[in-house]
Structure 1
Amino acid sequence: MDSRPQSAGLIAIIAVMNIIWWMVMIAAIGLGATHMDRCPQQPKIPVYLIVLGATSLLSLIFTYSSSGYQDGAVHILSVVCMTFLHIFSFAWLIAGSSWVYSIYPPNYSEKDQYCHKTTYQFAFVVTTLLWVAMILVILCSCCFALLTCCTTVVAGRHLLPDRKSFYGATSFHEPATGDV
């Protein structure tokens, strides 16, 4: 784990984002539980919100517990649980997306036929934001990987040994006056 000191601004941004995510996931659980029987068009949307909120909160709890312990059984157990929860959450996001997007656009004029308006809109917005965030993370990761590869290739020509230098030299070898 990296033990460099972090700036106060970065810590504040992370804390605010965590608080916002906690509130959104608690709202997802609340909306899903409150309107469990008020979505006849797609009754799985409230269940999707409850499970999405619960798994996200559990994942945050395991993240906090694993960062408190650098090694040992607690850290390993937390990492294993987080990995399982992330894989499950991704699969659950795919399932929830099919449920949420399958009834788009909803017709709110027929009150008893479609989902509760706030519940559906919340599920739609959260699902869309999760996909956007995931795409941004993937794009940033690809850009970082490409930058790392390019930097390694450019630096690689200076790191390759030749017959006149020792392995790992980073400067060019000036030929001696007697060398041909």
Structure 2
Amino acid sequence: MDNRPQSAGLIATTVVINIIWWMLMIAAIGLGAIHMDHCPVQPNVPVYLIVLGATSLLSLIFTYSSTGYQDGAVHILSLACMTVLHIFSFAWLIAGSSWVYAVYPPNYSGKERYCHKTTYQFAFVVTTLLWVAMTLLLVCSCCFALLTCCTTIFAGRHLLPNRKSFYGATSFHEPATGDV
């Protein structure tokens, strides 16, 4: 495990993002629970918000408990639970996207047929932000992997010895003692 000290800016950013995410997921649970029966056009939208909020909060709790214990059964159990939760959350995001985007664009004029405006807009924005964040993470990961591969390939010719060099040499061409 890497135990290097982290910068204050990184720690502050992590804390702020965690607080914002906690508030969003608590709001998702609250909006979904309060407006459970106020979305006749797609009754799964409030359920989607409740489950999304609950699994996200559970995932954060397991993340915190995993970092508290570096070794042992608690760490392994936390990692296993996080893995299952992340897989479930991804599948739930796909299902929720189909429910939220299927009724777009909403018509809020008829209260009998459509979702509560705030609940639907919250679900739409959170779902869209999750897809944007995942796409950004995927693109950055691919760029990092490509950069790492290119760096390794270009540095590869310097990493392998040729017949005129040996391991531990400081330069590739050292004149023999008789050659001056």
For residue 101 of structure 1, report the CA deviation from its aligned partner.
0.1
Segments of 5+ residues of structure 2 without an aligned counterpart are none
Shift in CA distance, 56/168, structure 1 to aligned 2, threshold 3 Å: farther
Percent of aligned pairs sharing the same letter? 85
1:6-36 Cα deviation digits (max 9, x unpaired): 0111101100000000000000000000000
Report the TM-score, using the length of structure 1 for normalisation.
0.95
For residue 60 of structure 1, report the CA deviation from its aligned partner.
0.3
Number of aligned pairs?
179
- In the alignment, residue 55 of structure 2 is paired with which amino acid? T
For residue 167 of structure 1, report the CA deviation from its aligned partner.
4.0
The 2-side partners of 1:157 and 1:23 are apart by 51
The 2-side partners of 1:157 and 1:113 are apart by 67
Q: Are 1:63 and 2:63 matched, yes or no? A: yes
Contact 2:106/2:114, CA 8 A, preserved across alignment: yes
Choose 26-35 or 149-158, whichever is displaced more. Answer: 149-158
Contact 1:158/1:170, CA 8 A, preserved across alignment: no
3-state SS of 1:29 partner: helix
- In the alignment, residue 42 of structure 1 is paired with which amino acid? Q
For residue 178 of structure 1, report the CA deviation from its aligned partner.
6.6
The 1-side partners of 2:160 and 2:168 are apart by 7
3-state SS of 2:40 partner: coil
Shift in CA distance, 171/147, structure 1 to aligned 2, threshold 3 Å: farther
Q: Are 1:97 and 2:79 matched, yes or no? A: no
Contact 2:42/2:115, CA 8 A, preserved across alignment: yes
2:134 maps to 134
1:38-91 Cα deviation digits (max 9, x unpaired): 000000000000000000000000000000111110000000000000000000
The 1-side partners of 2:62 and 2:116 are apart by 33
The 2-side partners of 1:168 and 1:150 are apart by 24
CA RMSD of aligned residues (A): 1.5
Q: Deviation above 6 Å: which 4+ runs of structure 1?
A: none
- In the alignment, residue 146 of structure 2 is paired with which amino acid? L
Segments of 5+ residues of structure 1 without an aligned counterpart are none
Q: Are 1:18 and 2:18 matched, yes or no? A: yes
Shift in CA distance, 40/159, structure 1 to aligned 2, threshold 3 Å: same
- In the alignment, residue 88 of structure 2 is paired with which amino acid? F
- In the alignment, residue 93 of structure 1 is paired with which amino acid? L
- In the alignment, residue 173 of structure 2 is paired with which amino acid? H
Report the TM-score, using the length of structure 2 for normalisation.
0.95
The 1-side partners of 2:20 and 2:169 are apart by 50
The 2-side partners of 1:45 and 1:151 are apart by 46
3-state SS of 1:5 partner: coil
